Amino acid sequence: MIQVTAFRWVPPFAQGSVRDIRVRWALEEAGLGYDDHLIGFEDQSTLGYRARQPFGQVPAYSDGKVEMFESGAIVLWIAQHSDALMPADDAGRAMVLTWLFAAMNSVEPYVAELATIDLFHPDKAWAKERRPEVEAFLRKRLADLQTALGDRNWFAGDRFSAADILMTHVLRDLRHTSIVADFPALADYVARAEARPAFQRALADQLAPFRAAEAADPRLVAA
């Protein structure tokens, strides 16, 4: 059985964003069952978990044949064995690979810098000074991204692919802002991806232990 590590609970701002959702979504699209192995923040620094994930993050992945960490690599691994996420022809596969890496390398750093400022350092003087420039750079990158998408539904071609899992997740990390709404094609793209039943199942599965933890300890809701 495939096993994916995930957190028992995270603060509300991170719910729906923790990167195990990328892997859950890929597995759902591929029609593969899995178990989630839930860990707490106290487990991140243990020698046992660091042997699986050197940085103490989630997810870590195992399927009886391989053990992996890094969500992008895991999604790519799953996609390479799934017709639902990766086309069979070389040109199609090359385009999926291109956009998968574009999501992580050409878009995510801009998103992550803004999210870091907004979510972790909003009141710091340096953050207030830096934020306008970060947002300007991000908006330029999103304009380029929207132009590249054009009138297509998905980035790598006519069909949904692993690249769209990564790109959608990256863009979702801006949902604490209204920035994506200023790019209508990208907003429609995210909504189209989020409407997929596989995403809805993945999101529900990630949120379920958080809700259980909050029901058991209501103080977490205010954390």
Domains and CATH numbers, the chain: 2-84+198-222 (3.40.30.10), 90-196 (1.20.1050.10)
Hey, how many other C-beta atoms are within 10 angstroms of the C-beta on 168? Answer: 24
- Do residues 80 and 112 touch, judged by C-beta distance below 8 A? no
For the chain, the distance separating the N- and C-terminal CA atoms, rounded to the nearest angstrom, is: 34
Burial (CB count within 10 angstroms: exposed 0-12, middle 13-18, buried 19+), residue 146: middle
| 175 contacts 169 by C-beta, under 8 angstroms | no
Alpha-carbon torsion 22, 25, 29, 31, what sign? positive
Q: CB neighbours of 181 closer than 8 A, spacing ≥ 6?
A: 187
| Rounded average pLDDT per 10-residue block, the chain, 223 residues | 97 96 98 97 96 97 96 98 96 97 98 97 97 98 98 96 98 97 98 98 98 92 72
d(CA 12, CA 15): 5
Rounded distance between C-alpha atoms, residue 189 and residue 152, angstroms: 9
Closest by CA position to 176, among listed 120, 96, 222: 120
pLDDT value, residue 223:
62
H helix or E strand, kind and range, residue 36 = strand 34-39
Q: For residue 156, what are its two tokens?
A: 């790598």
> To which residue do tokens 């809700």 refer?
211
Any alpha helices (H) in the chain, and if so which ranges? Answer: 20-30, 47-52, 71-79, 90-102, 108-120, 125-149, 162-172, 184-194, 197-216
